[in-house]
Amino acid sequence: MDALQTISEASMKQEVPAFSIGDTVKVHVRIKEGDKSRIQVFEGTVIAKKHGGISETFTVRRIAHGCGIERVFPLHSPVVDRVEVVRRGKVRRAKLYYLRDRVGKAAKVKEQIR
């Protein structure tokens, strides 16, 4: 069990970005196409963070062409190149699943003034 724990701690990222639920983030994802790889940016609102440690994931939601898209990213995955915080959100919930039912301006999260 100790060997498994040391392997998982070694594969964790050293610099984890400080973002929380409600923040708008840009996730730089490494996409492999054949023998080439490129970086694709997925920008949206963080609606959930789950688990902890090596298996920590976060869900990002965005609206593209009137259709809601959600992607779940493992935080310590090598596929996730980096996470940039665009703006901070002011929320009072741990999960923002209620945004799925909302359309237009009602689906926005207030910005936190710092």
Determine the Cα–Cα distance for residues 72 and 50; give it in Å rounded to an integer. 10
* β partners of residue 60: 46, 71
**pLDDT tens-digit map of 11-57:** 788 888 899 999 999 999 999 999 999 999 999 999 999 998 889 99
Radius of gyration of the chain (CA): 16
Determine the Cα–Cα distance for residues 24 and 80; give it in Å rounded to an integer. 16
- Better-predicted residue by pLDDT, 82 or 1: 82
Determine the Cα–Cα distance for residues 99 and 40; give it in Å rounded to an integer. 24
Q: What is the pTM of this model?
A: 0.89
CATH topology of domain 2-105: SH3 type barrels. (2.30.30)
Q: How confident is the model at residue 58 (pLDDT cuts 50, 70, 90)?
A: very high
CA 76 to chain centre: 11
